[in-house]
């Protein structure tokens, strides 16, 4: 035996596998199949914890997740977890648990003094005290309240374990594995339906585990379910939420029954399940009865006593009494008696019952029409019996166990979350839910009315005042008197009373006393229970760890990282990276990690004096084609683009609907019906959505095709007086001003690569932007550096870029802050006078045109020795308190003249030349400044329009450019036993988008030139080395697994003509092939769509999100094998996630 209360035989524990564990440092013993609660009970541990408010000693009250009292801290160090019900902890070798909410010990807790102070701590006392003196709140009251809050101690160290998420789809989800739930699962499984069964316990069977007759068929049912190919059984998995769209959240405790998870094993897994139908077979929950001392160790629910005897082979006490109002409780009487527990008697509040008479015939004393009016001892040893109706002398009864049964409530947490209607059932004395066509309730979850004498609606023993505290919520120490006080003080509604008293707000959510609380409130208000109702059920039905909710999206994977095509090059050159949204951008090149202004100024001065190059690939880039492309852009931008000549670029300003500036950038016209749009890095995604919305919803009649090409093109800005000479060495384009003036655009060869060249400047110097396919980024970048070496070229980072644009007076994100108008930024002259555009009407409203708005100005520090920082407020003087505006950006000048900045200042134009004070109280800095023009460098644009001839330059001898290969898959050894394989693919890729009225011609051309048919939506088609993937309405990706990058787009343009727009996307994607027996399961961790072979098979294509990243998913074969197309700047981040997701199955890398 593992303890003095372990029965010599019986139960479903494995007595051949003893286990040792510690509780409060003491070594105890149990068996495989025990819970911590049953093992503690077997070892004679009666007091397990202390209550929240009064620190009263508490024992084990239930046998399941509804446990309100026996909460413990589990494990140590970084894995310590508080407030875990001992009834849900599966016993394992080496388990360590500690009681909580006590000091210095469980047996002697100084916090119990709160019980003596209870007259001063009624319900809602914290709302009525701590009001005076006010100065004590932060120093005294708040620290005291915070120290008193909570029960256990959470770990302070980072969680060392890992978690993940699994997305599943099924025809039928069964929640609960009792007899009714298993029958429903069997019926659906035999019919070939996809079925998932969730069981929160580690053993399947539910109530059948406690009934010898029902247990006989349990093994056969489970064996048949396991054999059915479309049935999945998940034990240790509790459903916590039922959400809109019939989405169910559940958590599987994968490794909680071990000290630590195994290698590559997650501790817990969150399941997100999307079923066709749900069967709620969650059973019923026994209720407590309110009476003085109903919280003592030794008082427990009758059904819990049955569970400990029948399932765990433990006697909860030596001499048991029962306090009941229903016939079902007599089953517990019988089972305890058969197990050898002495039955002191049954106190039945009903005047008579058939089950009670049968117990009397078996020799068990029964007190009909009686109640328990008091208990004594901690643990319990005496209880007092009094008649319910008559005033007779109390009778004392010796017992160390009091089993309570106040009736049974269907477990309605999930039904309530689904907003199913509840009806009061007088016969069952409980609320019951009504199912619908997609949610069915079965077994006790549907209602508990049965044969025999009906239960009596008895909630509280009526005793004289001063008899002791009678609890409704055992965890939060909420008494019946607290609820009546709430009604008297105006918090009579069940939701108000809940919050005022904290009834049902503990970790158990009042599962054993929620209805009892409503009944007491109803009585106090003089209304029926049906009128009072129950509080709203909300997720989570049971506590869920933050780790399970976060899954794998923590640490490095909390947000995906977008890496530039040159990320590795920048890293090798000592770049210090900064996070800009999802992007990792080089802030400054400094092998010593110096991020002061010194290395930044060195980079910026190279641009001002000679030449520099920066990687601007994070800019948004959008391809716009179609016969109406110019008209479309005229409506999108506040300035016109249909008049833009071919081969020219124009600075564009985009407004929101409300007239506020949305974004700026350049748009270039490559051909009559082909434009190339650039956006700021921060607004790349929102601008793309803005364009798509207006194309699809507002002007669907326009013939326009929009493609995101941000990942296709790498963009480098070459800036400085020597920029023309540098580029002349690596391109055949005539760069003389007459042939290639400011804002000119050309498609040309650059360092042997077909690319695009723009004469655009963001720095205030002669500058060019070079766009090449990102697969060629590194060789072209290296060629630029080699060509610029004789001129002293330097790469420059984001800080230098920002410094240069401040000196020039260009606006960026800190000025485009969602509050500024075109006039505020000095760009009002750009707004066209004729023609409509987004934001035109509201841009003229009074609030955006009145005087006194914050306007863009320049700021120059008067004392060169003083610093200026963004965020400083501008005031009239050092003593003035009114802020006139604020500094948006600041930096030292390349000329060494101190700090300058840009600011938004009220009445800024009229203040040019004024001296103001810049105050930065957060950093404790201040200085005097002069308001100047925002254009510190080249205000007349003479540098950017420099027309000096190129002169004689020596062409750079270039090697043949070969697309650089950046390994996406992390370098790690393959597993010997691998059920998943991962490899990279490099097909040539082009996108074709249907033009208006071009479908017939497109189909003919594809068939004639390539032997290809357009696939159905969501499908693919193959012809030789070519494959077409349907990626959206009128949108297809064409792959050539043997082609040279970029050649496919050329062929398609020539063949398709005016029937479709064609965009080269050969460098836009990283392509990964995932295959093997566990490939589908690996994807289920990341993918929300249904991947079952019946739904998604070979040839299927879908766009989806995985790990917060957009993915085009294509199933290649039924191995299964999948190709995943990820934006190239996110591909490495995605590959890292995919490798971690597959690790537990064994992974082979190609």
Tens digits of residue pLDDT in 730-754: 999 999 999 999 999 999 999 999 9
pLDDT band at 964 (very low <50, low <70, confident <90, very high): low
Average pLDDT over residues 352-365: 94
Distance separating alpha carbons of residues 647 and 746, to the nearest angstrom: 6
What is the DSSP pairing of strand 925-932 with strand 854-861? antiparallel
Residue-averaged pLDDT of the chain: 93
User: pLDDT value at position 725?
Assistant: 96
**Rounded CA Rg of the chain:** 37
Q: Which CATH class is domain 163-280?
A: alpha beta
Within its chain, how far is the Cα of 871 from the centroid? 32
Whether pLDDT at 19 is above 90: yes
Q: Name the token pair of 1107.
A: 């790990």
- Nearest Cα residue to 669 out of 631, 630, 708: 630
Say if CB 20 and CB 93 are below 8 A apart.
Answer: yes
User: pLDDT value at position 466?
Assistant: 64
Residues 89-148 have pLDDT tens digits of 999 999 999 999 998 989 888 888 877 777 777 887 777 777 778 788 788 878 877 777
Say if CB 765 and CB 723 are below 8 A apart.
Answer: yes
Number of Cβ within 10 Å of residue 132's Cβ equals 8
Whether pLDDT at 966 is above 70: no
Whether pLDDT at 550 is above 60: yes
- Nearest Cα residue to 477 out of 60, 59, 122, 153: 122
Provide the b/e sequence for 1065-1081 (b: ≥16 CB within 10 Å): bbbbbbbbbbbbebbbb
Distance separating alpha carbons of residues 1083 and 990, to the nearest angstrom: 26
SS3 letters across 726-752: HHHCCECCCCCCCCCCCCEEEEEEECC
Average pLDDT over residues 649-668: 96
Q: What is the DSSP letter of 451?
A: S
Name the percent of the chain lying above pLDDT 90. Answer: 84
Phi-psi region of 406 (alpha: psi -120 to 50; beta: other; left: phi over 0): alpha
Helices (H), 795-875: 798-808, 840-843, 846-849
- Nearest Cα residue to 389 out of 403, 406, 370: 370
Average pLDDT over residues 46-66: 94
Average pLDDT over residues 902-930: 94
Distance separating alpha carbons of residues 58 and 85, to the nearest angstrom: 12
Architecture of the domain whose range is 851-934: Beta Barrel (2.40)
Whether pLDDT at 955 is above 90: no
Q: 461-464, long-range: CB within 8 Å, 24+ apart, which pairs?
A: 461/289, 461/290, 461/291, 461/292, 461/371, 461/372, 461/373, 461/386, 461/388, 462/371, 462/388, 463/291, 463/292, 463/373, 463/374, 463/386
Whether pLDDT at 183 is above 70: yes
Whether pLDDT at 24 is above 90: yes
User: pLDDT value at position 949?
Assistant: 86
User: pLDDT value at position 965?
Assistant: 55
Say if CB 1148 and CB 974 are below 8 A apart.
Answer: yes
Distance separating alpha carbons of residues 894 and 45, to the nearest angstrom: 76
User: pLDDT value at position 598?
Assistant: 96
Residues 686-735 have pLDDT tens digits of 999 999 999 999 999 999 999 999 999 999 999 999 999 999 999 999 99
User: pLDDT value at position 672?
Assistant: 96
Whether pLDDT at 1034 is above 70: yes
pLDDT band at 950 (very low <50, low <70, confident <90, very high): confident
What fold characterizes domain 615-648+667-805?
Gyrase A; domain 2 (3.30.1360)
Residues 434-467 have pLDDT tens digits of 999 999 999 999 987 666 778 999 999 988 776 7
User: pLDDT value at position 390?
Assistant: 67
Q: Do domains 285-408+449-532 and 615-648+667-805 have the same CATH topology?
A: no
User: pLDDT value at position 450?
Assistant: 66
Helices (H), 83-162: 113-116, 125-128, 136, 142-148
Number of Cβ within 10 Å of residue 892's Cβ equals 21
Cis peptide before 312, with omega less than 30 degrees from 0? no
Compute the CA torsion angle 653, 654, 657, 659 (nearest 10 deg): -20
Angle (CA) 619-650-804 rounded to 5° is 55
Pick the CATH number of 285-408+449-532 from 2.30.30.140, 3.40.50.970, 3.50.50.60, 3.30.420.40: 3.50.50.60
User: pLDDT value at position 315?
Assistant: 96
Whether pLDDT at 606 is above 70: yes
Number of Cβ within 10 Å of residue 744's Cβ equals 20
Distance separating alpha carbons of residues 969 and 1071, to the nearest angstrom: 11
Distance separating alpha carbons of residues 203 and 1054, to the nearest angstrom: 66
Residues 799-835 have pLDDT tens digits of 999 999 999 999 999 999 999 999 999 999 999 999 9
Distance separating alpha carbons of residues 135 and 205, to the nearest angstrom: 58
Return phi, psi of residue 31, to 5°.
-130, 160
User: pLDDT value at position 976?
Assistant: 67
User: pLDDT value at position 856?
Assistant: 97
Say if CB 670 and CB 747 are below 8 A apart.
Answer: yes
Residues 968-995 have pLDDT tens digits of 777 777 676 789 999 999 999 999 999 9
Average pLDDT over residues 964-970: 67
User: pLDDT value at position 806?
Assistant: 97
Whether pLDDT at 34 is above 90: yes
Average pLDDT over residues 774-798: 96
SS3 letters across 335-380: HHHHCCCEEEEEEECCCCCHHHHHHHHCCCCEEECEEEEEEECCCC
Average pLDDT over residues 209-230: 91
pLDDT band at 497 (very low <50, low <70, confident <90, very high): very high
Q: Which CATH class is domain 980-1149?
A: alpha beta
Q: Name the token pair of 562.
A: 């977008």
Q: Which residues contact 145 (CB under 8 A, 6 or more apart)?
A: 126, 130
Say if CB 461 and CB 289 are below 8 A apart.
Answer: yes
CATH code at 14-148: 3.10.20.440
Whether pLDDT at 1059 is above 70: yes
Distance separating alpha carbons of residues 84 and 298, to the nearest angstrom: 20
Q: What is the DSSP letter of 418?
A: T
pTM value is: 0.92
Whether pLDDT at 962 is above 60: no
Q: Name the token pair of 1063.
A: 């965009």
Provide the b/e sequence for 446-476 (b: ≥16 CB within 10 Å): bbbeeeebbbbebbbbebeeeebbbbbbbbb
User: pLDDT value at position 1114?
Assistant: 98
Whether pLDDT at 916 is above 90: yes
Helices (H), 228-276: none
* Separate counts of helices (H) and strands (E) for the chain: 29, 59
Strand, helix or coil for residue 633? helix
Average pLDDT over residues 661-672: 97
- Strands (E) across 1005-1048 are located at 1020-1023, 1026-1032, 1035-1040
Span between the terminal Cα atoms of the chain, in Å: 55
- Strands (E) across 751-908 are located at 753-758, 767-773, 794-795, 854-861, 873-875, 885-892, 899-906
Average pLDDT over residues 616-623: 97
What residue segments make up the domains of the chain, in order of their start? 14-148, 163-280, 285-408+449-532, 615-648+667-805, 851-934, 980-1149
Return phi, psi of residue 1110, to 5°.
-70, 135
């Amino acid at each position: 035996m593992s303890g003095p209360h372990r029965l010599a035989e019986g139960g479903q524990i494995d007595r051949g596998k003893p286990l040792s564990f510690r509780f409060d440092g003491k070594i105890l013993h149990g068996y495989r199949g025990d819970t911590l609660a049953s093992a503690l009970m077997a070892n004679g541990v009666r007091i397990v914890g202390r209550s929240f408010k009064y620190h009263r000693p508490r024992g084990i009250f239930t046998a399941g997740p509804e446990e309100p009292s026996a909460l413990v801290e589990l494990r140590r160090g970084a894995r310590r977890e508080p407030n875990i019900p001992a009834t849900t902890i599966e016993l394992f070798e080496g388990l360590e648990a500690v009681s909580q909410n006590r000091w210095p010990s469980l047996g002697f807790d100084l916090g119990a003094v709160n019980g003596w102070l209870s007259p001063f701590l009624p319900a809602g006392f914290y709302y009525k005290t701590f009001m005076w003196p006010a100065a004590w709140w932060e120093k005294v009251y708040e620290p005291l309240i915070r120290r008193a809050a909570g029960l256990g101690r959470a770990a302070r160290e980072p969680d060392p374990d890992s978690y993940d998420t699994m997305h599943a789809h099924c025809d039928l989800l069964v929640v609960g594995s009792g007899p009714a739930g298993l029958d429903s699962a069997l019926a659906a499984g035999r019919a070939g339906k996809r079925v998932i069964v969730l069981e929160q316990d580690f053993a399947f069977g539910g109530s059948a585990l406690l009934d010898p007759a029902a247990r006989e068929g349990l093994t056969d049912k489970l064996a048949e379910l396991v054999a059915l190919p479309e049935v999945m059984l998940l034990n240790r998995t509790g459903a916590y939420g039922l959400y809109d769209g019939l989405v169910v959240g559940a958590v599987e405790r994968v490794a909680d029954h071990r000290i630590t998870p195994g290698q590559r094993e997650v501790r817990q897994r969150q399941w997100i399940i999307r079923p066709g139908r749900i069967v709620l077979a969650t059973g019923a929950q026994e209720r407590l009865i309110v009476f003085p001392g109903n919280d003592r160790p030794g008082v427990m629910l009758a059904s819990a006593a049955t569970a400990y005897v029948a399932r765990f082979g433990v006697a909860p006490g030596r001499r048991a009494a029962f306090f009941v109002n229903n016939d079902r409780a007599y089953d517990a009487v019988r089972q305890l008696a058969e197990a050898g527990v002495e039955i002191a008697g049954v106190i039945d509040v009903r005047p008579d019952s058939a089950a009670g008479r049968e117990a009397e015939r078996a020799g068990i004393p029964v007190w009909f029409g009686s109640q328990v009016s008091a208990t004594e001892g901690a643990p319990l040893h005496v209880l007092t019996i009094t008649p319910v109706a008559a005033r007779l002398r109390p009778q004392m009864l010796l017992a160390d166990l009091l089993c309570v049964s106040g009736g049974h409530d269907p477990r309605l947490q999930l039904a309530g979350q689904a907003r199913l209607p509840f009806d009061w059932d007088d016969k069952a004395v409980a609320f019951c839910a009504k199912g619908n066509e997609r949610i069915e309730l079965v077994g006790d979850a549907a209602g508990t009315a049965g044969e025999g004498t009906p239960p009596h609606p008895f909630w509280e023993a009526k005793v004289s005042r001063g008899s002791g505290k009678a609890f409704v919520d055992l965890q939060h120490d909420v008494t019946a008197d607290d609820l009546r006080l709430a009604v008297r003080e105006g918090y009579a509604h069940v939701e108000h009373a809940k919050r005022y008293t904290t009834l049902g707000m503990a970790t158990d959510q009042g599962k054993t006393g929620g209805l009892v609380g409503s009944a007491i409130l109803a009585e106090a208000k003089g209304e029926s229970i049906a009128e009072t109702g129950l509080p709203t059920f909300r997720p989570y039905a049971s506590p869920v760890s933050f780790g399970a909710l976060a899954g794998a999206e923590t640490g490095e994977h909390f947000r995906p990282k977008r890496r530039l095509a040159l990320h590795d090059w920048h890293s090798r050159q000592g770049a210090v990276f900064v996070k800009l949204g999802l992007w990792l951008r080089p802030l400054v090149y400094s092998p010593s990690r110096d991020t002061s202004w010194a290395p930044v100024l060195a980079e910026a001065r190279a641009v001002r004096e000679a030449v520099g190059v920066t990687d601007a690939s994070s800019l948004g880039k959008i391809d716009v084609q179609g016969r109406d492309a110019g008209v479309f852009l005229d409506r999108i931008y506040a300035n016109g683009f249909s008049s833009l000549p071919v081969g020219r670029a124009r600075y564009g300003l985009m407004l929101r609907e409300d007239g506020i500036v949305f974004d700026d950038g350049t748009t270039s016209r490559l051909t009559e019906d082909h434009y190339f749009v650039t956006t700021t890095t921060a607004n790349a995604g929102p601008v793309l959505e803005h364009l798509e919305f207006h194309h699809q919803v507002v002007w669907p009649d326009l013939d326009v095709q929009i493609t995101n090409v941000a990942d296709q093109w790498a963009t480098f800005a070459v800036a400085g007086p020597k920029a023309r000479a540098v580029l002349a060495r690596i391109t055949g384009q005539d760069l003389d001003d007459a042939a290639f003036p400011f804002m000119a655009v050309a498609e040309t060869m650059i360092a042997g690569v077909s690319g695009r060249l723009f004469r655009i400047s963001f720095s205030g110097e002669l500058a060019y932007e070079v766009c090449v396919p990102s697969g060629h980024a590194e060789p072209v970048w290296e060629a630029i550096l080699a060509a610029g070496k004789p001129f002293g070229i330097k790469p420059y980072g984001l800080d230098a870029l920002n410094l240069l644009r401040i000196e020039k007076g260009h606006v960026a994100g800190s000025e485009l802050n969602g509050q500024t108008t075109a006039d505020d930024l000095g760009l009002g002259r750009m707004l066209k006078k004729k023609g409509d555009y987004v934001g035109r009407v509201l841009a003229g409203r009074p609030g955006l045109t009145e005087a006194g708005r914050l306007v863009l100005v320049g700021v120059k520090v008067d004392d060169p020795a003083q610093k200026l920082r963004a965020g400083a407020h501008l005031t009239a003087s050092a003593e003035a308190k009114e802020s006139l505006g604020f500094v948006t950006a600041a930096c030292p000048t390349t000329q060494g003249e101190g700090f300058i900045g840009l600011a938004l200042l009220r009445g800024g134009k009229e203040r040019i030349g004024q001296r103001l004070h810049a105050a930065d109280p957060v950093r404790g800095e201040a200085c005097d400044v002069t308001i100047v023009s925002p254009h510190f460098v080249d205000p007349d644009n003479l540098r950017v329009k420099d027309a000096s001839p190129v002169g004689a330059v020596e062409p750079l001898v270039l090697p043949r450019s070969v697309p650089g290969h950046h390994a996406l898959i992390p370098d790690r050894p393959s597993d010997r036993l691998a059920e998943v394989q991962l490899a990279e693919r490099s097909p040539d890729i082009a996108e074709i988008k249907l033009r208006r009225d071009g479908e017939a011609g497109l189909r003919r051309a594809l068939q004639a030139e390539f032997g290809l048919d357009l696939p159905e939506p969501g499908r693919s088609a193959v012809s030789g080395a070519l494959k077409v993937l349907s990626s959206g309405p009128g949108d297809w990706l064409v792959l050539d697994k043997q082609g040279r990058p970029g050649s496919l787009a050329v062929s398609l343009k020539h063949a398709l003509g005016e029937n479709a727009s064609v965009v080269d996307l050969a460098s836009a994607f990283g392509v990964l092939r995932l295959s093997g027996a566990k490939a589908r399961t690996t994807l289920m961790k990341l993918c929300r769509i249904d991947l079952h072979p019946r739904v998604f098979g070979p040839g299927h294509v879908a766009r989806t999100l995985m790990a917060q990243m957009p993915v085009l998913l294509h199933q290649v074969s039924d191995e299964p094998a999948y190709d995943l197309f990820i934006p190239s700047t996110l591909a490495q981040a995605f590959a890292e996630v995919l490798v971690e997701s597959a690790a537990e199955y064994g992974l082979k890398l190609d």
